[in-house]
Structure 1
Amino acid sequence: MGIIVRQGFKSSIVSYVGVVIGIFNILILYNQFLTQEQLGLYASTLLTFPVIYMSFALLGVPSVAVRFHSRFQDHDSRRQLFTFIIITPVVGLAAFVALYLLFKPLYLKFYLDHSPMLVKYYYVFIPLTIGMVYLLALESYSRINLRIAVPSLIREVGLRLFNSAVVILFGYKLITFDTMVNLTVLSYGLAIAAMLIYLHFQKRLYTSLDFGFIKHPAFKEMYRYGLWVLLGGASAALLPHIEKVLLPAFKGGLGSTAIFDIASRIALVISIPRNSIVMISAPIISQAYARNDIAHIDTIYKKSSLNLFIIGSFLFLGIWTNIDAIFGIIPKSEIYSQGKWVVLMVGISRIADMMTGLNSEILTNSKYYRYDIVFMLFFTILILFSSQFLIPLYGFNGAAAAALFSTVVYNFVKLFFIRQKLGIQPFTPGTFKVIILGTAAYLLARYMPFPEPENLITTLLIILARSVMITVIFGGGILLWKVSEDISAGFSSGWKLIKTSILRIK
Structure 2
Amino acid sequence: MTVIKRQTIIGTLWAYLGVLVGSVTQAYLIPNYLTTEENGLLAMLMSWMMIFVLLANLGFTSAGVRFFDQFRDKEKGNKGFLFNALVALLLGCLLVTFVVWGLQKQILSSNAGDTSLFEKYYFVILPITFATATFNIFDNYAKSLHDTITGNFLSQFLQRFLVLLAVVFYIANWLDTKLFVGIWAVAICVPAVLMFFHIHRIGALNFRPSSFLLKSNFLKPFLSFAGFSVVTSLSSIAITKLDTLMVYEFLGLSQTGIYNTCLFFGSVMTISYNISLKASTAIVLTAMEENDFEKVKGIFQKSSITQVFFGTILLVLVWVNVDVLFSFIKPEYYVGKYVLLIIGIAKLYDLASGLNSLILGYSKYYKLDSLLVISFVAVLYLLNHLLIPSYGLNGAAFAALIATVYYNTFRNILIWKFFKIHPYSKSLLFILLTGILVTIVGLYLPDLTIYDNLDRFLSLIYKCSVTGLLLISSLYFLNVSREINQMINDVFEKLKSLF
Give your verdict on TM over 0.5: yes
Deviations 1:328-359 (A, max 9, x none): 123x1x11111100100000000000011111
* CA–CA distance in structure 1, aligned partners of residues 471 and 300 of structure 2: 23
Match of 1:283 in 2: 282
Given residue 284 of structure 2, which amino acid in structure 1 is its aligned partner?
Answer: I
Aligned partner of residue 387 in structure 1, secondary structure? helix
The alpha carbon displacement at 1:112 in A equals 8.5
* CA–CA distance in structure 2, aligned partners of residues 472 and 162 of structure 1: 34
The alpha carbon displacement at 1:105 in A equals 3.5
Q: Is the 8 A contact 1:113 1:249 kept in 2?
A: no
Aligned partner of residue 203 in structure 1, secondary structure? coil
Given residue 480 of structure 2, which amino acid in structure 1 is its aligned partner?
Answer: V
Which aligned pairs between 1:226-265 and structure 2 lie closer than 5 A? 226-251=226-251, 253-265=252-264
Match of 2:212 in 1: 212
- Tell me whether 1:303 sits opposite 2:339 in the alignment: no
The alpha carbon displacement at 1:132 in A equals 1.3
Which aligned pairs between 1:309-388 and structure 2 lie closer than 5 A? 309-330=308-329, 332=330, 334-388=331-385
Match of 1:450 in 2: 447
Q: Is the 8 A contact 1:114 1:249 kept in 2?
A: no
Match of 1:84 in 2: 84
* CA–CA distance in structure 2, aligned partners of residues 163 and 425 of structure 1: 39
Q: Which range moved further: 284-293 or 426-435?
A: 426-435
The alpha carbon displacement at 1:157 in A equals 1.8
Q: Is the 8 A contact 1:61 1:88 kept in 2?
A: yes
Distance 1:116 1:214, change over 3 A: same
Match of 1:117 in 2: 117
Distance 1:484 1:128, change over 3 A: same
* CA–CA distance in structure 2, aligned partners of residues 373 and 19 of structure 1: 31
The alpha carbon displacement at 1:373 in A equals 0.6
The alpha carbon displacement at 1:79 in A equals 4.4
The alpha carbon displacement at 1:448 in A equals 2.1
Q: Which range moved further: 201-210 or 352-361?
A: 201-210
Aligned partner of residue 25 in structure 1, secondary structure? helix
Aligned partner of residue 250 in structure 1, secondary structure? helix
Distance 1:416 1:189, change over 3 A: closer
Deviations 1:255-283 (A, max 9, x none): 10111011111233211111111111122
Given residue 172 of structure 1, which amino acid in structure 2 is its aligned partner?
Answer: A
Match of 1:502 in 2: 498
Aligned partner of residue 51 in structure 1, secondary structure? helix
TM superposition score normalised by structure 2: 0.95
The alpha carbon displacement at 1:423 in A equals 0.9
The alpha carbon displacement at 1:116 in A equals 2.3
* CA–CA distance in structure 2, aligned partners of residues 207 and 359 of structure 1: 34
Match of 2:51 in 1: 52
* CA–CA distance in structure 1, aligned partners of residues 221 and 229 of structure 2: 12
Q: Is the 8 A contact 1:248 1:254 kept in 2?
A: yes
Given residue 60 of structure 2, which amino acid in structure 1 is its aligned partner?
Answer: V
Q: Is the 8 A contact 1:256 1:395 kept in 2?
A: no
The alpha carbon displacement at 1:401 in A equals 1.0
* CA–CA distance in structure 1, aligned partners of residues 71 and 256 of structure 2: 44
Given residue 192 of structure 1, which amino acid in structure 2 is its aligned partner?
Answer: A
- Tell me whether 1:182 sits opposite 2:179 in the alignment: no
Q: Which range moved further: 444-453 or 371-380?
A: 444-453
* CA–CA distance in structure 2, aligned partners of residues 200 and 123 of structure 1: 31
Given residue 221 of structure 1, which amino acid in structure 2 is its aligned partner?
Answer: P
Match of 2:126 in 1: 126
Which aligned pairs between 1:426-441 and structure 2 lie closer than 5 A? 426-441=423-438
Which aligned pairs between 1:99-178 and structure 2 lie closer than 5 A? 99-110=99-110, 113-178=113-178
- Tell me whether 1:491 sits opposite 2:488 in the alignment: yes
Deviations 1:36-95 (A, max 9, x none): 2112102x1121111111111211122112211222222126242222223211111111
Q: Is the 8 A contact 1:159 1:188 kept in 2?
A: yes
* CA–CA distance in structure 2, aligned partners of residues 103 and 288 of structure 1: 43
Q: Which range moved further: 226-235 or 80-89?
A: 80-89
Q: Is the 8 A contact 2:31 2:261 kept in 1?
A: no
* CA–CA distance in structure 2, aligned partners of residues 492 and 464 of structure 1: 23
Gaps of 5+ in 1: none
* CA–CA distance in structure 2, aligned partners of residues 479 and 30 of structure 1: 37
Aligned partner of residue 372 in structure 1, secondary structure? helix
- Tell me whether 1:30 sits opposite 2:30 in the alignment: yes
* CA–CA distance in structure 1, aligned partners of residues 32 and 468 of structure 2: 32
* CA–CA distance in structure 2, aligned partners of residues 387 and 226 of structure 1: 29
Q: Is the 8 A contact 1:115 1:248 kept in 2?
A: no
How many residues were matched structurally?
A: 498
Distance 1:211 1:18, change over 3 A: farther
The alpha carbon displacement at 1:390 in A equals 0.9
Identity of aligned residues (%): 23
Q: Is the 8 A contact 1:77 1:213 kept in 2?
A: no
Q: Which range moved further: 86-95 or 299-308?
A: 86-95
Gaps of 5+ in 2: none
Q: Is the 8 A contact 1:66 1:286 kept in 2?
A: no
* CA–CA distance in structure 2, aligned partners of residues 259 and 237 of structure 1: 20
Deviations 1:150-189 (A, max 9, x none): 2111112222222222223323333221122222333344
Deviations 1:213-253 (A, max 9, x none): 322332222111101101111101121011221122223x1
Deviations 1:362-401 (A, max 9, x none): 1012111111111110110011000011111122111111
- Tell me whether 1:95 sits opposite 2:95 in the alignment: yes
Q: Is the 8 A contact 1:289 1:365 kept in 2?
A: no
The alpha carbon displacement at 1:110 in A equals 4.8
* CA–CA distance in structure 1, aligned partners of residues 172 and 179 of structure 2: 13
Given residue 334 of structure 2, which amino acid in structure 1 is its aligned partner?
Answer: S
CA RMSD of aligned residues (A): 1.8
* CA–CA distance in structure 2, aligned partners of residues 115 and 160 of structure 1: 26
* CA–CA distance in structure 1, aligned partners of residues 310 and 332 of structure 2: 30
Aligned partner of residue 270 in structure 2, secondary structure? helix
The alpha carbon displacement at 1:492 in A equals 2.3
